Amino acid sequence: MTSQIASARAHTNIALIKYWGKKDQQLMLPMNGSLSLTLDHFYTDTTVEFNSIYTEDTFYLDQKKIETTKITPFLDLVRQMNPQVGFARIYSSNHVPNAAGLASSASAFAALALAASTAAGLNLTRRELSRLARRGSGSATRSIYGGFVEWQPGTSDLDSYAIPIDEKVDWDIEMLAVIIDRQQKKISSRTGMQRVVTTSPYYPAWITSTNQDLSAAIQAVKEHNLQLLGQLAESNALRMHALNLSARPPFSYFEPASLVAMEIIEKLRSEGICCYYTLDAGPNVKVICSKAESPQIIRALSTAFTPEQIVEAFPGPGVKLIEC
Ligand code: PMV
């Protein structure tokens, strides 16, 4: 019996300029570049053990055995790089305050990429890890790095990866997550984004405007310009959700409570507080703001949401190996 084991921790990331559509579904090549912030509070720990006695891959999430079709094709990519390793047992735990809500495939596949490749004896560079993580979930491409991260779309497997823009964020930025629903998404991101690519008449305009947003947002990060970054992130998110409404059949991730949170943020802004929101493939609202102003924003959100629904998060680190 030969056993090879490794554990890794990866943090989730929230896109400020979104990835929403693929040009190659198999290689997971995105239509456009994106920009995200990796967060400290939300992460996944994953242990991978390849063992010659195993006869199949088995996946445990938070100590429960889970049937999924996503793990084996991903581990097959690792086995292609080292055909000596056999099947694996994978143990993952998601660390998010109050369980679920923000658990993300980004942290899951970034942690799996590092744990599995290390257990298989491969010593991948961060760029190679980013390319590997991409094959599990697009947003995982960016969770290899900490802080602000750009995913360059590329044209092939070789040149579609993330690069760090500002890994050790030393300026005043924070993200408040308003947890509205912990349920599974109504429409998976995979299905939703593909539907807009094939049916929304606005899709070409999305690509043009997102490319412009991306360059401006990278510049805003470099200049530590929170207001400009927030403006760009909010309008980019609203355009992504407008694509969903313009698809056939149309769909939306908003819940009534999402609109309540968005209105609170807009009102605070009209009172001179620098805060902006973004939403992904679900109803939760994430607020971009400064640490200095977050107490006032939390107070305003508390008129409509419980303390458990409002979670503070700060820039977090990239993927790393941890003790098994
Ligand atoms: O990587 P996926 O399949 O979880 O898709 C992520 C899509 C968004 O979160 C909405 C945007 C993004 O860039 O992360």
What token pair was written down for 104?
């993300």
Gap from CA of 15 to ligand 1 centroid (Å): 7
3-class SS of residue 288: strand
What token pair was written down for 263?
């209105």
Residue located nearest, by CA, to atom 8 of ligand 1: 280
- pLDDT value at residue 41: 87
- pLDDT value at residue 96: 73
Which residues sit opposite 150 in a β-bridge? 35, 163
Gap from CA of 139 to ligand 1 centroid (Å): 5
Look at phi and psi of residue 63 and say left if phi exceeds 0, alpha if psi is from -120 to 50, else beta: left
178-210 as b/e, with b when 16 or more CB fall inside 10 Å? bbbbeeeeebebeebbbbbbeebeebeebbeeb
The residue to mutate among 11, 17, 19, having the most atoms of ligand 1 within 8 angstroms of its beta carbon, is: 19
**What is the tens place of the pLDDT at every residue in 85-142?**
999 999 999 887 544 456 579 999 999 999 999 999 999 999 999 999 999 999 999 9
Instruction: Confirm or reject: Cβ of 268 under 6 Å from ligand 1.
Output: no
Q: Tally Cβ neighbours within 10 Å of residue 8.
A: 24
DSSP string over 86-115: --EEEEEEEE-TTSSSS--HHHHHHHHHHH
Please report, for residues 155, 230, 243, the alpha-carbon distance to residue 236 in angstroms, rounded to integers and kept in the order given: 23, 10, 11
Look-up of token digits 């509205």: 180
- pLDDT value at residue 99: 40
**Cβ 202 vs Cβ 240: under 8 Å:** no
**What is the tens place of the pLDDT at every residue in 256-266?**
999 999 999 99
The residue to mutate among 139, 191, 232, having the most atoms of ligand 1 within 8 angstroms of its beta carbon, is: 139
What token pair was written down for 45?
């720990």
- pLDDT value at residue 1: 56
Helix and strand numbers, DSSP H then E, in the chain: 8, 14
**Cβ 234 vs Cβ 274: under 8 Å:** no
What token pair was written down for 65?
């055995």
pLDDT band at 269 (very low <50, low <70, confident <90, very high): very high
Query: Is residue 89 within a helix (H) or strand (E), and if so which, with residue range?
Result: strand 88-95
Nearest-atom number in ligand 1 for the CA of 19 is 13
Across 176-203, average pLDDT: 90
* The pairing of beta strand 34-51 with beta strand 88-95: antiparallel
pLDDT band at 164 (very low <50, low <70, confident <90, very high): very high
**What is the tens place of the pLDDT at every residue in 67-83?**
989 999 999 999 999 99
Look-up of token digits 């949170």: 261
Instruction: Confirm or reject: Cβ of 151 under 6 Å from ligand 1.
Output: no
Instruction: Confirm or reject: Cβ of 280 under 6 Å from ligand 1.
Output: yes
Query: Is residue 208 within a helix (H) or strand (E), and if so which, with residue range?
Result: helix 203-222
- pLDDT value at residue 2: 76
- pLDDT value at residue 55: 96
3-class SS of residue 181: coil
DSSP one-letter code for 291: T
- pLDDT value at residue 97: 57
- pLDDT value at residue 100: 40
Percentage of the chain beyond pLDDT 70 is 96
Least confident of 176-185, 208-217, 313-322: 176-185
Taking the C-alpha atoms of residue 248 and residue 200, their distance in angstroms, rounded to an integer, is 7
Residue located nearest, by CA, to atom 9 of ligand 1: 280
Q: Tally Cβ neighbours within 10 Å of residue 223.
A: 11
Task: Give the chain's mean pLDDT.
Answer: 95
* Spatial CB neighbours of 112, under 8 Å, sequence gap ≥ 6: 8, 46, 48, 71, 74, 90, 92, 133, 136
Q: Is the pLDDT of residue 198 over 60?
A: yes
Taking the C-alpha atoms of residue 302 and residue 297, their distance in angstroms, rounded to an integer, is 8
